Structure 1
Amino acid sequence: MDKFADMTMFVSIVKHKGLAAAGRELGLSPATVTSRLKALEQRYGVKLLNRSTRHLSLTDSGALYYQSSLEIINNVNEAESLLQSGLNEVKGTLKIAAPSDIGRQAILPILTSFCQQYPNVIPHLYLNDTLTNITESGVDIVIRYGELADSSLISRRLASSQRVLCASPEYLRKHGIPTTPSELTDHHCLALFRSHEELTRWHFRQGDAHQSVAVQPRRFSDDGEVIRRWALDGYGIALKSLLDVQQDINSDKLQVVLSDYRVNFTASNSASSSDLNVVYVSRQYQPKRIRLFLDFLLSEFETPSW
């Protein structure tokens, strides 16, 4: 019984989203992969994968086994690297997913600085505004706005923030400044869509009062930086994280509207629902490069220079 080989096989199955593809990577026949996967599930008495002719997905037990296997494989690879080099060298891949806008403005320069200190670290930076499933994606670190739904993950706040409505001074001169949320229905709004969902219902709180407005956007994008660029170019009003647009506001390129209201994409009343967080699985068995980057990232956000 080679548990490490089983872990390697299972990680390959998840990575390639198929048993046949995993077999090709490992030099195993599809029948062998299927047989070993069945034996693995029988050994632990749990189902690890939901399988159909066209789709494969992790069960809760499978997600736990996958993440644990991935950590063990990474640690073994790092241990072998240290033994082979004879040095306590920081090297290997570092996979990070971040929202597009703050990713370019803040995470990219921080990652660049980190890799200058550790040139043998190979960064993978994924910039998108889709909520990344860290368990299934193989990403080491996810940076995201909002509260954490999965209690099995660790989340640490990088920066406090809030969401604001903003537009260029040119747009506001042409179309006027809204004074109530309901007036947004008469304005050109710029909307984000995420996971095929159009975020067109914006929520407003003022004290204990809550209301929502279904805006009629003139432009949509799944990229937060595109929304920001459209706002800067005078195409409408955007709902953005303050962290994304703070520099634009400071330089008078964008102007906040309806500042008396707390605005969000959801009806959440939590003060932390718009904060920027770093999310990861566990520090206990992380490769050194990941632990070092987390410490570096948290330190950089204490005294931001971007």
Structure 2
Amino acid sequence: MSIDLKSLELFVRVAALGAIGKAGAEFGLSATAATQRLQALETTVGTQLLHRTTRAVSLSTDGEIFLAHAKRILGNVEEALADIQPDAQDIKGDLRVACSASFGRLHIAPHVTEFLEHHPGVTLQLAMSDSVVDIVEQGFDMAIRIGELAPSTLKARKLAESPRLLVASPKYLERHSVPTTLEDLKHHNCLAREDMRTWSLTSADGTLHDVKINGNFSSTSAEAITEAARSGLGIARKCAWEIADQLTNGSLIPVLKNHTVSPYWKVFAVRPPSRLPSARVRAFTDFLEAKFKTVPALCDQA
């Protein structure tokens, strides 16, 4: 009996999604091609694994048993591949990575030369944009995402922390006073990212508060918000890694330090669900994780 791993991966995705067409699209297969592949798998194992109707797909009794084994097999293969990583000098090929513009400029681009010197056979394409890209549809090997991950089929690995805080310039605070309560915050000029007019903060006793903010400036650019806050326009909600230099030189000062910004954010590496991680992806992910551990603002030590 011979079963290829791609058919097992497809079967597992169909079981998770309940839809052959949607699962097949993750593998670059039409619904017809995906169906044929699943039928061939059923022929090989000698039993019906899926019940199909015009509206839905569900597991048969044998399919439920087979699913547990399929997941275990794929997990063992992934672990095996991770254990036989080639030498750095032997890792070759293209690596396409997506990330936000601000984070990429500050915490990825400065390390690109070192990574490529360690892996001379790799060609790295770093796409930096504040728009969230569909890495499956656009053919990226991985992406660096910051925040709370939305439900998806992507596989994620946490790389670092991304604590957030409220900040303002000394000039602004001298002119408008320092807020000491959440009620005070409502009367300050708050700088909104895009059109996010509600800030969630957790007090020391663990109570979550949603505060409606007011302000005369918003932007789709994280760096524009930083500059506006630094120049004295108002109070901004920022990731610690974005403003580490400004916190150090005193051009931005934390406010309402007895509250934490919610939800708590983290930095993740995400990759397509239907692929085992290549040596290139593993190498770059490990490299970034090691770099991030040396940055206090990415370790909740800002």
Report the TM range for the smaller structure's normalisation: 0.5 to 0.7
AA at the equivalent of 2:210: S
Partner Cα separation in structure 2 for residue 211 and residue 234 of structure 1: 26
- Alpha carbons 1:94, 1:140 under 8 Å: kept: yes
AA at the equivalent of 1:103: G
Q: 1:91: Cα distance to partner?
A: 3.5
Which residue does 2:143 correspond to in 1?
142
Partner Cα separation in structure 2 for residue 241 and residue 255 of structure 1: 13
Q: Please, which moves more after superposition, 274-283 or 102-111?
A: 274-283
Which residue does 2:36 correspond to in 1?
43
- Alignment of 1:220 with 2:213, yes or no, is no
TM-score w.r.t. length of structure 1: 0.63
- Alignment of 1:296 with 2:287, yes or no, is yes
Q: Map 1:222-261 to 2 at 5 A.
A: 222-261=220-259
Partner Cα separation in structure 2 for residue 190 and residue 127 of structure 1: 23
Q: 1:120: Cα distance to partner?
A: 4.5
- Alpha carbons 2:199, 2:211 under 8 Å: kept: yes
Partner Cα separation in structure 1 for residue 34 and residue 232 of structure 2: 57
Of the two, which has the highest radius of gyration? Answer: 2
Q: 1:185: Cα distance to partner?
A: 2.8
AA at the equivalent of 1:245: I
Partner Cα separation in structure 2 for residue 276 and residue 225 of structure 1: 18
TM-score w.r.t. length of structure 2: 0.64
Provide the identity percentage.
32
Structure 1 residues without counterparts, runs of 5 or longer: 4-35, 47-60, 62-87
Partner Cα separation in structure 2 for residue 294 and residue 243 of structure 1: 19
Q: 1:220: Cα distance to partner?
A: 1.6
Partner Cα separation in structure 1 for residue 273 and residue 115 of structure 2: 21
Over 3 Å counting, the alpha-carbon distance change for 1:152 and 1:237 in structure 2 is same
AA at the equivalent of 2:94: T
Partner Cα separation in structure 1 for residue 32 and residue 157 of structure 2: 38
- Alpha carbons 1:128, 1:223 under 8 Å: kept: no
Over 3 Å counting, the alpha-carbon distance change for 1:275 and 1:192 in structure 2 is same
Partner Cα separation in structure 2 for residue 95 and residue 251 of structure 1: 35
| 4+ long deviations beyond 6 Å | none
Which residue does 1:161 correspond to in 2?
162
CA-atom RMSD in angstroms:
3.1
- Alpha carbons 1:100, 1:225 under 8 Å: kept: no
Partner Cα separation in structure 2 for residue 132 and residue 247 of structure 1: 29
Q: Map 1:274-285 to 2 at 5 A.
A: 274-281=265-272, 285=276
DSSP-derived class of the 2:136 partner:
helix
Q: 1:139: Cα distance to partner?
A: 2.0
Deviations 1:150-185 (A, max 9, x none): 464333322223210011111212222111222223
DSSP-derived class of the 1:249 partner:
helix
Which residue does 1:204 correspond to in 2?
201
Q: 1:39: Cα distance to partner?
A: 4.2
Q: 1:305: Cα distance to partner?
A: 9.6
How many residue pairs get aligned? The number is 222
Partner Cα separation in structure 2 for residue 212 and residue 168 of structure 1: 24
Over 3 Å counting, the alpha-carbon distance change for 1:283 and 1:173 in structure 2 is farther
Q: 1:275: Cα distance to partner?
A: 1.9
Partner Cα separation in structure 2 for residue 170 and residue 42 of structure 1: 65
Deviations 1:92-134 (A, max 9, x none): 3322222332221111112232123334433322323334433
- Alignment of 1:108 with 2:97, yes or no, is no
AA at the equivalent of 2:289: L
Q: Map 1:47-66 to 2 at 5 A.
A: none
- Alpha carbons 2:247, 2:253 under 8 Å: kept: yes
AA at the equivalent of 1:253: S
